[in-house]
A and B are shown apart, each in its own frame.
Chain A
Amino acid sequence: MRCKKVKEKLSAFIDNELESKIRLKIEQHLTKCFGCEQELKILTQTWQALEKRKRIEASVNFEEKFWQRVRERELKQPLFQRLLTRVIPIPAAFTVLIFGLAGGIYLSKILFPKETKMSSNDLYSLTNENFLYLDNFDDFPPESVGDIYISLTSLRKNSRIED
């Protein structure tokens, strides 16, 4: 293993984070390489020097201060948000949703009524003058399908009358 590669791995070597195979290779290299061995020594001493760092504890009234901040933040929230998160339970919110939907459907019926169906009287009033008969249209062009059809149906009609 080359020195450059070994030096890159020394940090993980010190922290015991290398796979055993790689660790073994590095250990073997260190037995033969003074430079890498010295580098490891310096890094280890540096890292060990940090061990003397003092630890601190949270203050005695830490929890009291925390709950105070929670209360202050909740008071700053808008009223509707506080109600939404604390007062209105989920079943009540669901009930409000159902009523809201029902109200919306009712309102839509009032505001946007459907067209009513025609009554029988209305139908009766659609008399001859309202309906369009074929006579209201221009004649079919001569020898067109429509013209032939009309001719045939007229012939049939006339033959029935004669009978």
Chain B
Amino acid sequence: MDPDIKLILEFTRGETSAFEQILKKYKSLVTNTAYCFIQNHAEAEDIAQEVFLKVYNSAKRYKARAKFSTWIYKITANICLNTLRSKKHLQTVSLDTSIITTENKIMRENLNSTHVHPHLNLEKEEFNQLIKKAISSLPGKQRMTVILQKYEGLSYLEISEIMGCSIPAVDSLLQRAKQNLKRKLVPYFKISKKDKNEGF
């Protein structure tokens, strides 16, 4: 039996220490997932607290059909998406108005120079900001599937159970997310002479 399911069953029988173990194990995972989604540390912590409150109050209704981690991811995804809807964070963020640093402008104009790696010319913090904005620009469900696949390393099957949709639907969400991210990030990629000659 999944050890986490065992802990939840012990908690439903009144063992509060079992819940403490779950809290210790999953607090960072849930906080990080929420942070990747909402892009704000304080809000991510609030979401994580809500997730665990939901687990605490709903433990007796948990049916051990799937892994416990799937269940907690599902709750996290739902609360994140609901938070986004309520805060109307679905407004797309234009990258063109975000990180317009001098270096970026030069980089975008200078397509003839050679390079080895697409984002080497950005400062680490600028790069983080760029990625943050790119992900923030995605619609809620695309954003969540990107986070679950890319950052949490989950399979399409696991993501489909978490998001409550089919595997082809997950594939479609990730396809569209990749296309959207490509459109946002490609202008910031420097291309090598070889790639330019080949029409990249």
Contacts and interface: CB of A to CB of B under 8 A. Distances in A.
The contact size tier of chain B is 35 or more
A47 B150 CA distance: 8
A49 B185 contact: yes
A43 B156 contact: no
Contacts of A59: 45
B186 A66 contact: no
Given A55-B32, A62-B31, A38 B199 contact: yes
A45 interface: yes
A15 B174 contact: yes
B44 interface: yes
B35 A56 contact: yes
Interface in A85-126: none
Interface in A21-61: 34, 38, 41-43, 45-47, 49-59
Given A15-B174, A52-B119, A59-B45, A46 B199 contact: no
User: Could you tell me the dominant secondary structure of chain B's interface residues?
Assistant: helix
Given A11-B174, A50-B150, A73-B53, A56 B41 contact: yes
A66 B49 contact: yes
Nearest to A63: B23
A45, A53, A59 — which one has the most chain B CB atoms within 10 A of its CB?
A53
Interface in B1-55: 20, 23-24, 27-28, 30-32, 35-36, 41, 44-45, 48-49, 52-53
18 contacts: A8-B175, A10-B175, A12-B156, A15-B156, A15-B174, A46-B186, A49-B118, A49-B119, A49-B185, A53-B132, A55-B151, A57-B31, A58-B28, A62-B48, A62-B49, A63-B24, A63-B27, A65-B45
Interface of A: 8, 10-12, 14-15, 17, 34, 38, 41-43, 45-47, 49-59, 62-63, 65-66, 69-70, 73
A65 B174 contact: no
B149 A52 contact: no
Contacts of B135: 50, 53
A18 to B, nearest CB: 10
Contacts of A38: 198-200
B149 A15 contact: yes
A57 B26 CA distance: 11
B71 interface: no
A49 B27 CA distance: 26
Nearest to B53: A69
Contacts of A57: 28, 31-32
Contacts of B171: 11-12, 17
B20 to A, nearest CB: 7
B74 to A, nearest CB: 19
A102 B2 CA distance: 45
B99 interface: no
Contacts of A11: 171, 174-175, 178
Given A52-B131, A53-B132, A63-B24, 11 more contacts: A12-B156, A15-B149, A15-B156, A45-B189, A51-B150, A53-B150, A54-B128, A62-B27, A62-B31, A62-B45, A66-B53
A70 B181 contact: no
Interface in B166-182: 171, 174-175, 178, 181-182
B80 interface: no
Contacts of A34: 198
